[in-house]
Amino acid sequence: MNSIRQLHHALTINRTLVRYGLDEFLTPTPLAFLRPVAKLFSLNFKKSAQDKPRGERLRLALIELGPIYIKLGQMLSTRRDLVPPDIADELARLQDQVDPFSSEAAKNVVEQQLGARLEAVFSDFNTTPLASASIAQVHEATLKTGEQVVVKVLRPKIRQKIRRDLSMMHELANWAEKYSSEARRLRIKEVVKEYDATLEREVDLRIEAANTSHLRHNFKESELLYVPKVYWDFTRSKVMVVEKIAGTPIGDVRRLKDEGVNMKELADRGVEIFFTQVFRDSFFHADMHPGNIFVDTTNPEKPQYIAIDCGIMGTLDEDDKRYLAHNFLAFFDRDYKRIAELHVESGWIDEDVSIPEFESAIRAACEPIFGKSLAEISFGHFLIQLFQTARRFNMQVQPQLVLLQKTLLYVEGLGRQLYPELDLWETAQPYLKKWLREQIGPKAIFEEVKTQFPDWLHKAPKIPGLLFDNVHRLGQELEKFDSLKQELTQLEQYKIRQNAAQKHAILGIGFALLSGLLYLGIPYDWWPALGAAAISGLFLVRSLWPIKTN
């Protein structure tokens, strides 16, 4: 039954794509021969919105397909070096201009979740959505206490829609890894599993509220980033109430320039915020598309970022952070041998790989981009080279870093839009060097000792007892070892005796056969046969009672 549902869903996706004429994207590719097949199985040869441009048709199709596909479009909208401008402009509308659901449905969800009428909680509630996205939509409101807030409401039945799409993704991932070595190398199943867990967290607004509070705490009193306050008394799994913010959308570059914003400073601060979240806090906003980022332009020379929608957050452990930092610095220093060694040390590349050969491949991929601005760099070509290198050396995709990779795409896309001359490497290098000094220098050692010292003092009185217990346990283990050693010695002696017994038995049987042959061959003289029989008996007796060995 599940397979039938999956097939039906796949046909539905195909029907939607063909109806919007998106099969035309296959024409310039080796898969062009599949167009007639796709049309045949769509059972619909009439295009929807056939008079509209391809970018708009793609946007409409993604909206119809649902939230997972909308998020794919959001990411592609930031990659203007990979996506044609007409398509990127349309996909950018997916960031906060998805068709809203009815105001009556939103009102019902809020009242059901809060267990009260809107009038009992809000002095004013705007039923027209302020913005609408793939998972939820937001409404402006005023609390009874006078605070201006926005109310985020989860789309009705969104969990069921996501489950359906993710089920399809899991099936496709299983199929891909079964028949494709490339899919196994990319660990598609693990990537989908990680994405599944991420979306599961995103559709619980209590988790988003907790993420928002955590990020706000990390940047408390910061001039770089402001995060709105969460009103926990009015937050539930399907409803979240947060402080209303005022700022300029970061995607509105013309307006930012009109307001006199220092665009270089804005771009530099964006890079610093990203690396601060990753390396200082191990907690970073992983959905940094322009619809979720605003700018406070009160001080145009020192613009402050404002972040909303913390449903998708990434974390890294200490090993991942240290590995990434060393890789970045090696990359900045053009130390390609160190990059190759780090990949082997981390287990991403097999130990038997040729370091010089891998180093040469990395150099060929990275060297062309140095000394160029973002506007001059073809990151599409650069990424293709890296993927070719990955296939050549069987590099493993790390699912725990998928969110970080996605966020890096967003950061690069924003940097390109804000300040094309930004030297991303030059901006990040001083920060990473400072972070590494703080992690492995004398100050870091002192801070670690200072942190651990109270715990050491607490455990100090227990040390003699622990030592005695360990010594006693070691003595018991040694006794067991001696006993085991004796058993092994006895077993070895037993094997020696058994081997001797087998040899004696074989010799005894051999002399018995010889005795029989002698008796048959010279019947008039039975003494040789009797002698052989006596020797046979001696060996057979020895086989039954083998001599003990010391």
* Mean pLDDT estimate for the chain: 77
Q: Judging by beta carbons within 10 Å of its beta carbon (0-12, 13-18, 19+), is residue 82 exposed, middle or buried?
A: middle
Top pLDDT among 221 and 481 is at 221
Task: Report pLDDT digits (tens) over 361-416.
Answer: 888 877 777 666 555 665 545 555 665 676 677 766 665 566 676 677 777 777 77
Cβ 222 vs Cβ 191: under 8 Å? no
- What pLDDT sits at residue 232? 96
Task: In whole angstroms, give the CA distance from residue 236 to residue 467.
Answer: 51
Residue 520 pLDDT more than 70? no
- What pLDDT sits at residue 199? 76
Residue 107 pLDDT more than 80? yes
- What pLDDT sits at residue 50? 67
Kindly provide the b/e burial profile for residues 117-143, where b requires at least 16 CB atoms within 10 angstroms of the residue's own CB: ebeebbeebeeebbbbbbbbbbbbbeb
Cβ 323 vs Cβ 346: under 8 Å? yes
Task: Report pLDDT digits (tens) over 247-270.
Answer: 999 988 999 999 999 999 998 898
- What pLDDT sits at residue 99? 78
- What pLDDT sits at residue 549? 45
CA distances from 421 to 4, 263, 424, 426 (A): 52, 10, 9, 11
- What pLDDT sits at residue 312? 83
Residue 420 pLDDT more than 60? yes
Arithmetic mean of pLDDT, 175-182: 72
Arithmetic mean of pLDDT, 148-168: 87
Top pLDDT among 80 and 55 is at 55
Arithmetic mean of pLDDT, 57-86: 75
Other CB atoms within 10 A of residue 282 CB? 15
Give the three-class secondary structure for 382.
helix
Residue 283 pLDDT more than 70? yes
Task: In whole angstroms, give the CA distance from residue 70 to residue 98.
Answer: 9
Cβ 388 vs Cβ 185: under 8 Å? no
> Does 81 participate in catalysis according to the annotation?
no
Task: Say which of 23, 287, 296, 423 is annotated catalytic.
Answer: 287
Cβ 67 vs Cβ 134: under 8 Å? yes
Task: Report pLDDT digits (tens) over 211-244.
Answer: 999 999 999 989 999 999 999 999 999 999 999 9
Its pTM surpasses 0.75: no
Arithmetic mean of pLDDT, 75-82: 62
Using pLDDT thresholds of 50, 70 and 90, give the confidence band for residue 1.
Answer: very low
